[in-house]
Amino acid sequence: MRRKLTPLALVAVLALGGCTREPDLQQKSEAEVVTALRSYADDIGTVFTMPITNFRTNTVACEQNGGVPATDGTFDLSGHGKYIVKPGSHVALLRSVAEHWLAQGYEVDPLREVGNGGQLTGRNPADGISVTLTSGDPEVIAFLAATPCYKSR
């Protein structure tokens, strides 16, 4: 049975921390950030030799101190989707992505293996985008990404 990713994506984005305001925000359009998240998903798909499916993004206002949504046009984005993979291949695929990210200079948390699956999180220090790959369903690895806060272009 396949599970919906929407509740999982929401929990993961909250766990990744979403965006908190930093003094010198990059200025980008929403379309530029969506394209960046899609390129992360496609890059992982290249490692998996499997394209992402059900790719979606969500844009929200950044938070001011105290968790109040900003009204100045600053925003962050989250993205989610899934890869349909061969059962039993999850850990090997996640290890391949970890090696790929490390070679690109990402900060990579240790792979947490759970049964035949696991969870892997990496952050690209060049742009602050964090990606988590989570598996549990025998045929699915979920993609969850969160961006830092941006000034709208």
What does the alpha-carbon distance between residue 126 and residue 123 come to, in Å, rounded to a whole number?
9
> Does residue 143 contact residue 13 with C-beta atoms inside 8 Å?
no
Stretch 84-103: mean pLDDT: 95
Q: What is the mean pLDDT of the chain?
A: 85
Nearest to 117 by CA among 103, 97, 132, 138: 138
- Write the pLDDT tens digit of every residue in 18-61: 444 455 788 899 999 999 999 999 999 999 999 999 999 999 99
Q: Does domain 6-152 have CATH number 3.30.2030?
A: yes
- Using CA atoms, how far residue 66 sits from 63, 69, 70, in Å, is 8, 9, 11
- Write the pLDDT tens digit of every residue in 72-85: 889 999 999 999 99
Nearest to 131 by CA among 143, 117, 119: 143
Model pTM above 0.85? no
Query: Rounded to a whole number, what is the largest CA-CA distance in the chain?
Result: 47
